[in-house]
Amino acid sequence: MTFEAVKQQEQQNIMPVYSRFQVALVSGKGATATDVNGKQYIDFTSGIGVNSLGFCDPEWSAAVAKQAGTLQHISNLYYSPVQTAAAENLCRLSGMSKVFFANSGAEANECAVKLARKYGTDRLGPGRTEIVTLKNSFHGRTVTTLAATGQNEFHEYFAPLTTGFSYAEPNLRSVKDAVTEKTCAVMLELIQGEGGVVPMDKAFVEELRAFCTQRKILMIVDEVQTGVGRTGTFYSYRNYGVVPDVVTSAKGLASGLPLGACLCAEPFADVLGPGTHGSTFGGNPIACAGALVVMKRLAEPEFLKDVREKGNYFAEKLAEMHGVSSVRGMGLMLGAKPAHGSVGEIAVKCAERGLLILTAKDVLRLLPPLVISKDEADKGLAILREVLDTYEP
């Protein structure tokens, strides 16, 4: 099909909820994608942080194809060896005790909300069901995770949202002011991705951990975008030296297949029992087969070190660009603020020249595959530099 045929088909049949770039991709390898016309693109997006092993990793592709030809779905009425293996690996790598498998980050966060509210009711007393989240946060697009999201623009048109959420600034004083006798948990991203790649201050995170422990309320860390090696450790809370009570995960976990996870520490392992939660597709064998390959690779001693080194390389090269005023982030989750102009227009011009890049608030957001090669990185950075050098707002 031609690009125009694909575009027309999309416009005729798909709800117009996406502002798409003028690109129709049909294949890819590593961090390089190819469109319907044979044009190649360097990918700094990994499908919004999803393709952790890049396009069509051979080991991942083989494992997924084998599972698809063996057993594609059985539901959670029966035991699944590939699911239990994925759970064991994820608990070991995260340091958590138990996991619930879902299909997305929003679903993982929904599970965390339910766990926190049941914990509050069961162990703290009736009415202990409210959750404090941070302003500028993003936790998903379901009605409940929209309510958890601390950005008013996401709330417009969808009232009434789920009640029981309040919002604080990312400092301990503001969180303390927001916590009441009804609070059961505080939920946060350690780097606010959709909020503009904004890292939390380490001292604040440490203080919050101590405060939540003191008040016997849960500390929930949303690692949907920051997790699975993205920031140079398996989960970003390792970079902050804290251990959450509940962790949510998705995106890069199965490197392109829909898999979410809500993990909890041992004291909370039995909060949710039979009948309190569930998912038809959650922990699907094919998705779990993909996740096992991802976790195997990330467990290799040099893999995360390599991610950290690549992240430093990207950050250094971005900081050297005259068209970039500042760089923030961690590992391969970076935000580059242009010296002038619209990040949206810059991203469009990058796509025209063969670079796929994201935006978030006032920054160009870079989430390249964790396996991106130096050659691919240099090609993409050269395109970005050229666009920034020639861009006129």
Tell me the binding residues.
105-106, 138, 141, 222-225, 279-280
- Do 284 and 64 touch, CB atoms closer than 8 A? no
| Of the candidates 338, 107, 353, 139, the residue with the CA atom closest to the CA atom of residue 225 | 139
Distance set, CA 382 to CA 62, 191, 269, 327 (Å): 33, 27, 48, 17
Query: The tokens 């045929």 sit on which residue?
Result: 5
Q: 310: which 2 tokens?
A: 């690549």
Annotated binding site for pyridoxal 5'-phosphate: 105-106, 138, 222-225, 280
For 254, counting Cβ atoms within 10 Å of its Cβ (0-12 exposed, 13-18 middle, 19+ buried), the class is: buried
Task: Measure the CA–CA gap between 24 and 7, rounded to whole angstroms.
Answer: 8
| DSSP for 227-296, written as a single string | TTTTTSSSSTHHHHT---SEEEE-GGGTTSS--EEEEE-GGGTTSS-TTS---SSTT-HHHHHHHHHHHH
DSSP single-letter state for residue 123: I
For 77, counting Cβ atoms within 10 Å of its Cβ (0-12 exposed, 13-18 middle, 19+ buried), the class is: exposed
Apex 223 CA angle, 209 and 171, nearest 5: 40
Annotated binding site for N(2)-acetyl-L-ornithine: 141, 279
Give the dihedral sign, CA 159/162/168/173: positive
- Do 329 and 310 touch, CB atoms closer than 8 A? no
- Do 194 and 360 touch, CB atoms closer than 8 A? yes
